[in-house]
Amino acid sequence: MMTNSNRPPDHRDVVLRSIDDYGRQLRRALEGLSEEEARWMPTPNSNHVLWILWHMGRMEDMWGWYLRGNGDSAWIEGGWAERLGIDPERNGAGDSIEQVRDFPDVTVAEVTGYWEASRKLLIPSVEGVTADMFGIKRPEVWPQSPNTAPDILFALGRIPVENGQHTGQIAYIRGLYAAKFE
């Protein structure tokens, strides 16, 4: 991740460095992940790594779209919903355990490809946020509850927090798998 040398460091650099950091940690956590391991659930009611990775891509895609206020998403316009065979309306929030268990027969590489495509849209979205935008809310792109649409400042902070937690979950599940099967 490079900062824009045409401006002094600011809030964007903090967010971008955080995104870059958990991205590196995620890539390490995914190294050597087998397809069987990617779908292993520590308990019958737990998420598996592949579902969490997809959800991370959805969150990066959705938050980037929220920061921009419109435009293309990797999920719909980029064709990833169709490629992965998942309902375009889903993002993982509120998924049932049956939806996690019945996650489509896709590979780790395919889901990683979606996460990477989402990230390519997220980074310029973060770069485009200026301090005078912090208080902006976008209820028109927050259909689930327009009256509670968060402001841009919340969104900037939420991205690394949420996906940093999900990265830790993936690493933890891999550790559990290794302890149980190796």
pLDDT for position 182: 72
Nearest to residue 149, comparing CAs of 63, 25, 58, 47? 63
- The mean of the pLDDT values for the chain is 94
Residue 2 within any structural domain of the chain: no
Domain hosting residue 166, numbered range: 48-181
What is the average pLDDT across 63-83? 94
Nearest to residue 115, comparing CAs of 105, 123, 103, 104? 123
What is the average pLDDT across 117-134? 97
- Indicate yes or no: pTM above 0.85: yes
What is the average pLDDT across 64-79? 93
Residue 3 has pLDDT above 60, yes or no: no
Residue 16 within any structural domain of the chain: no
Residue 103 within any structural domain of the chain: yes
Residue 22 within any structural domain of the chain: no
CA distance 84 to 116: 14
pLDDT for position 124: 97
What CATH number does the domain containing 79 carry?
A: 1.20.120.450
Residue 17 has pLDDT above 90, yes or no: yes
Q: Which helix (H) or strand (E) holds 8?
A: none
**Total domain count for the chain?**
1
Residue 58 within any structural domain of the chain: yes
Residue 7 has pLDDT above 90, yes or no: no
What is the average pLDDT across 147-174? 97
Residue 105 within any structural domain of the chain: yes
% the chain with pLDDT above 70? 97
Residue 102 has pLDDT above 60, yes or no: yes
Residue 54 within any structural domain of the chain: yes
Residue 5 within any structural domain of the chain: no
Residue 1 has pLDDT above 70, yes or no: no
Helices (H), 93-151: 97-101, 108-127
71 against 137, higher pLDDT: 137
Count of C-beta atoms within a 10 Å radius of residue 173: 21
